[in-house]
Structure 1
Amino acid sequence: MATTPRPYSSLDRPGALIAALPAVLGFVPERSLVLVTVADADMGAVLRADLSDPPPDQLCQLAELAAAAGAETAIAVIVDDSGAGCAMCADEHRRLANTLTDELDAHGVELAAAYVVAEIAGGARWYCVDGCGNSGVVEDPTASPTAVAAVLDGRRLYRRRDELVAVVATADSARAAALGRKIESASAPDPSRPDSEARSDVEHALACVERGERDRPLADADLVRLAWSLTDARVRDTLYALAVGDSAGAAEAVWAELARRLPEPWRVEALVLLAFSAYARGDGPLAGISLDQALRGEPLHNMAGMLEHALRSGMRPEQIRELARTGYRLAQQLGVRLPPRRLFGRRAG
């Protein structure tokens, strides 16, 4: 399941709304039930579930998340390439929409419309699930205002969800295991160590980010030190500030590299740093995938849980960015100079 908040103004144009979904989710959904929540006439959280998942549990969870996001109404889009011209499939889609309506009603949310489409591609035809006779053509997803805004914001759009997952998936299990042995054999930082040692670790992390800006790969020794450094709350919480600094892109690339190369449980903190950075710049899909992986590794991780709740409830990126202030305060206490904060512009979606 993926979620992301994204404003959109053409909720009454099904062809445009459906075309916007790949840019909102970060990938082109297939065999999916997508629920677009609406509050104050704007698109809120967008929720997705696999059609192959057990419907009752998934629909109940979607309804709960929609209500938690403050939705007044919602629009469902069923993406199913097995239903073209199939009367039995049409009946299944109607039953799915009816069950979803009941679940949403139980949580005070109205299902305003439900559409079915075989694929999300320009020229594909959408239909009303209830057989009302309304239908139309999906607009070009690559030309939608939401897609254009995503590209201008530096977000990459993926053809499939698997490609997005690969951004944070372990790249080589054998190498990760070998690196894990190196980490375990290294000296763990003393929890009561002085601020000067924490400052040294922050400065090392900043040096790694700077190396990343020059496309220089990290050595195993750097990865080992970073893995242990992130277990110190002073270091980890200071580094959250990089998400809103001038080197945010390079820092995010380092966190992604750590997520792919470190083994469990060491990769969890890197995943949460990556999620925070992605969320701060408005990339809900990458944030959601990173948080899902982090919580699989450490289900009770406080920051990951808080960010996941914020993402599912539709909290805006600008609100999340305020959390980075703590990192700047910690850096000042440690005597570390961080990159200056950058300005975030608001683009039309």
Structure 2
Amino acid sequence: MWSSDADSPLRVGTEGLLTALPVLIGFRPRESLVLVATGGPGGGRVGLTVRVDLPPPDDPALLESLCESVAGAIARDSPSGAAVVVVGGDGATGGGGGEAGVGGRGGGWPPRMDVAAAAVAALHRAGVGVHSAVWAAAIEAGAPWCCYPLHDCGCGGRLPDPSGTVVAATAVARGTVVRQSREDLVQLVEPAEEDHHARTGRAGPSGAGGGTGRPAGAGAAESGAAGPAESGAGGGPGAVDGAADGSGVRGRPRWPSDPVHVLDAALESAAAGRLTVDAELVRIMSAALRRTRFRDLALSTCTGDHAAAAEQLWAALARTCRGPAAADPAVLLAVCALARGDGALANIALERAERVRPAHRLARDLRTAMAAGWGPTEVRTWLEGAL
């Protein structure tokens, strides 16, 4: 039920869909509700995938609002059906113990039946049929999983190692980077020494992986198009390599005076895996990004031949810049990520921008676009028309 491209589908069952979740959203989900849209000629091709943190079991109003929001996002993808997946929730009330519920046997229900039932009902109200409703204790080798008693199929078992599946191997071959947790993604855009109290935590209700309580599609959900992500050169997006002389590029006494030439030099350095973000680069880029023509030039780097290097540059600047100046590179990073189908990274980058400059217009526009189900095709079409 997952395909790397139109000509070479990889057919998997429910267990395969569970182990494919890290590929679909960019990291291994924990304590999450994940909705997966399916469609295509046979109804089994993966479309939009949306993840939010599990709400607390004692807040039915939040649960209903959350499920309505994520179901609405899935419905905008016009799927022929959807899968509902609950990951974790073992410590919450609302279902039987994990071991007792494996395979629907042993006298217990899987945990967080309240979440699964609310998500199924919300999808039905949105006009989307549900073909699978599944619980997994975790997305890791040996974790128990089973179907909720939706179709009384009794399916269940223990997951194989998600990194050892055909889907994972195909994704790695295509350059997809799968991280162990959402926190690994956050480290790409957040300063390591940032004050703990300045952060909102993981996005979503009480976390798109606690804290903001915003509805999905307005910053609370992570979504990703079903497709491979490109890995950046030099160790992935935001890789920074220090130059011995403290300059912007090894061997250069200083950055050029023209910001356009600085951008070219920084992209060249990032592509070679030797980018250094120093105070001078931050000063030049922060000033230049306040000008419309330069912002348009910067947007043009988010797709095409320079996209991988640009993603590294914008991630490094989003980490290094302080205050409102971090918003522009963070939004550019979000555009890069969304253009290659990495909705999780796009969401995290937008959170950074929104936190330091809440009124950033392009950040608001991207939020709206993500809520409407935009993926790589829509972003590339928009950039072609806007530049």
- TM-score, structure 1 normalization: 0.76
Report the 3-state secondary structure (helix = DSSP H, G, I; strand = E; otherwise coil) of the residue aligned with 1:90: coil
- Matched residue type, 1:118: A
Aligned to 1:151: 172
Aligned to 1:85: 99
Cα distance in 2 for partners of 1:326, 1:202 equals 22
Aligned to 1:27: 27
Give the Å deviation of 1:290. 1.3
Residues 238-280 of structure 1, C-alpha deviations (whole Å, 9 max, x = no match): 1111123433222211111111011221111101111111222
Aligned to 1:204: 262
Aligned to 1:168: 189
Please point out which of 44, 59, 66 is paired with 1:58: 66
Change in 2 beyond 3 A, CA 1:30/1:11: farther
Change in 2 beyond 3 A, CA 1:141/1:314: farther
Matched, 1:231 2:285: no
Please point out which of 134, 137, 152 is paired with 1:115: 134
Report the 3-state secondary structure (helix = DSSP H, G, I; strand = E; otherwise coil) of the residue aligned with 2:172: helix
Change in 2 beyond 3 A, CA 1:7/1:77: farther
User: Does the aligned pair in 2 maintain the 1:94–1:129 contact within 8 Å?
Assistant: yes
Q: Which has the higher contact order (CA 8 A, sep 6+)?
A: 1
Give the Å deviation of 1:115. 0.7
Aligned to 2:210: none
- Matched residue type, 2:277: L
The number of residues matched between the two structures is 301
Pairs within 5 Å for 1:283-322? 283-322=342-381
Report the 3-state secondary structure (helix = DSSP H, G, I; strand = E; otherwise coil) of the residue aligned with 1:256: helix
Residues 204-241 of structure 1, C-alpha deviations (whole Å, 9 max, x = no match): 22222223345141220220111111111110111111
Report the 3-state secondary structure (helix = DSSP H, G, I; strand = E; otherwise coil) of the residue aligned with 1:76: strand
User: Does the aligned pair in 1 maintain the 2:314–2:332 contact within 8 Å?
Assistant: yes
Greater percentage in helix: 1
Report the 3-state secondary structure (helix = DSSP H, G, I; strand = E; otherwise coil) of the residue aligned with 1:77: strand
Please point out which of 135, 145, 156 is paired with 1:135: 156
Please point out which of 279, 282, 293 is paired with 1:220: 279
Residues 266-299 of structure 1, C-alpha deviations (whole Å, 9 max, x = no match): 1111011111112223333322321233234444
My pick for the range that moved more, 238-247 or 146-155, is 146-155
Change in 2 beyond 3 A, CA 1:59/1:275: same
Aligned to 1:185: none
Aligned to 2:78: 70
Report the 3-state secondary structure (helix = DSSP H, G, I; strand = E; otherwise coil) of the residue aligned with 1:85: helix
Aligned to 2:49: 46
User: Does the aligned pair in 2 maintain the 1:171–1:261 contact within 8 Å?
Assistant: no
Aligned to 2:335: 276
Aligned to 1:242: 301
Give the Å deviation of 1:79. 1.0
Aligned to 1:14: 14
User: Does the aligned pair in 1 maintain the 2:89–2:111 contact within 8 Å?
Assistant: no
Cα distance in 2 for partners of 1:314, 1:143 equals 30
Change in 2 beyond 3 A, CA 1:159/1:311: same
Residues 47-101 of structure 1, C-alpha deviations (whole Å, 9 max, x = no match): 1111145422221211121122223321111111624236798375323222222
Give the superposed CA RMSD.
Answer: 3.0
Report the 3-state secondary structure (helix = DSSP H, G, I; strand = E; otherwise coil) of the residue aligned with 1:252: helix
Report the 3-state secondary structure (helix = DSSP H, G, I; strand = E; otherwise coil) of the residue aligned with 1:108: coil
Runs (5+) with no aligned partner, structure 2? 57-61, 91-96, 102-106, 196-256
Give the Å deviation of 1:17. 0.5
- TM-score, structure 2 normalization: 0.69
Question: After TM superposition, where is structure 1 displaced by more than 6 Å over at least 4 residues in a row?
Answer: 5-8
Report the 3-state secondary structure (helix = DSSP H, G, I; strand = E; otherwise coil) of the residue aligned with 1:322: helix
Change in 2 beyond 3 A, CA 1:144/1:283: farther
- Matched residue type, 2:301: L
Change in 2 beyond 3 A, CA 1:151/1:283: farther
- Matched residue type, 1:268: A
- Matched residue type, 2:46: M
Residues 103-140 of structure 1, C-alpha deviations (whole Å, 9 max, x = no match): 22221112222111111123433211116422244343
Cα distance in 1 for partners of 2:173, 2:260 equals 31
User: Does the aligned pair in 2 maintain the 1:6–1:44 contact within 8 Å?
Assistant: no
- Matched residue type, 2:122: E
Please point out which of 321, 326, 329 is paired with 1:267: 326
- Matched residue type, 1:140: D
Cα distance in 2 for partners of 1:261, 1:63 equals 36
Aligned to 1:95: 114
Cα distance in 1 for partners of 2:84, 2:328 equals 35
User: Does the aligned pair in 1 maintain the 2:73–2:373 contact within 8 Å?
Assistant: no
